[in-house]
Structure 1
Amino acid sequence: MYIPPGFNTVTPYFFVQNAETFISFLINGLGGTETCRTMRPDGLVANVQVVLGTSTVMVSESSKGYPAMSGSYYLYVENADASMARAIKHGAVLEMAVQNMPYGDRQGGVRDAHGNIWWISERIVHAPYTA
């Protein structure tokens, strides 16, 4: 099986209204980098790829056939406190303040303007999860 560089076995694909605003949040609020862009004939986003850390996500403008939908995403970062502040500065709303969790992550949560929840996490132990 071949997976293109920057992609993983599972790649989130966002269908949102006002895709340009969402893409701006991914870049400015979460520190992503746009790597590819395809536009529809009507001038709206057909597909934009944004790299967040080691993962690529895709974004398209929603349509009748592909309506807007939100989800919940776990995002590992170098510094949870700084990343949370950045996300909030760029329009996210606090869901849960950053705190040390019993499973070894320093984590907080925000909701973006498109309804997605982002669990922004910094691994503070160098060990796998244990049950």
Structure 2
Amino acid sequence: MTNPNERTHFAPELHIPNGTYNIDFYLNFGATEHFCLRNDDGSIHVAELEINGAIFHLHETMRWFNALEPITAKGVTAVIGLFVPNVDEVMQQAIKAGATEISPATDHEYGYRQGMFKDPFGHFWQIQKKI
């Protein structure tokens, strides 16, 4: 099997209501927690989970780009997380193809290089790589 950092794969980011303290459902469902970053009040900011090699994230609702979790949106919502070997190259390809940059590729303290764009249909894509 190829190294997960060297192949393209999806990692959904599921929004949860702000002020969520408990994600036991996912652990009881069989997920393994890689990390969980909490806000000052103890609520969950972001957690990385894995089910049988499939990584996904739970993230508090980010209002700065009008995102909603499904309860508030009264529908299904998601940010499409795409892991790739070269974040900058994929970001440039997307923008060249007509995407709008939301945030440039940046290295983060939690060990990821990430950039985000909006495609012409309004879907948000987070292009990322573990560093």
Aligning the two structures, in what range does the TM-score lie when normalised by the shorter sequence?
Answer: 0.3 to 0.5
In the superposition, the TM-score normalised over structure 1's length comes to 0.41
In the superposition, the TM-score normalised over structure 2's length comes to 0.41
